[in-house]
Amino acid sequence: MTLELSIVDDRHGSMTIPFGEPEPSDDLLNKSMWSTRLRSWLDARLRTLAAAQRIQDARALRNEFVLD
């Protein structure tokens, strides 16, 4: 299994967004692997920012991505 990483820069440094190989569950849900994995990463990042009381950063990050 190979793992590709994309780097996203923000004002506090850089963040790594993990992307990997498609999993069977991705196909069963009829979602692209990118949106599924990006949603998971984004949710985790938003929880981290909220826990650190960085609400403004969390809102700014959430507004960067539009996922349905």
- Is the pLDDT at 9 greater than 80? The verdict is no
pLDDT tens-digit series, residues 15-67: 565 566 655 555 555 556 668 888 888 889 888 887 877 777 777 877 877 65
Return d(Cα 34, Cα 21) in angstroms, integer: 10
pLDDT at position 8, please?
47
Return d(Cα 14, Cα 44) in angstroms, integer: 16
Residue 52 CA neighbour count, 13 Å, CB half? 10
CA pseudo-torsion sign 19, 20, 21, 24: negative
Q: Where are the domains of the chain?
A: 4-64
Confidence bin at 1 (pLDDT 50/70/90): very low
pLDDT at position 53, please?
76
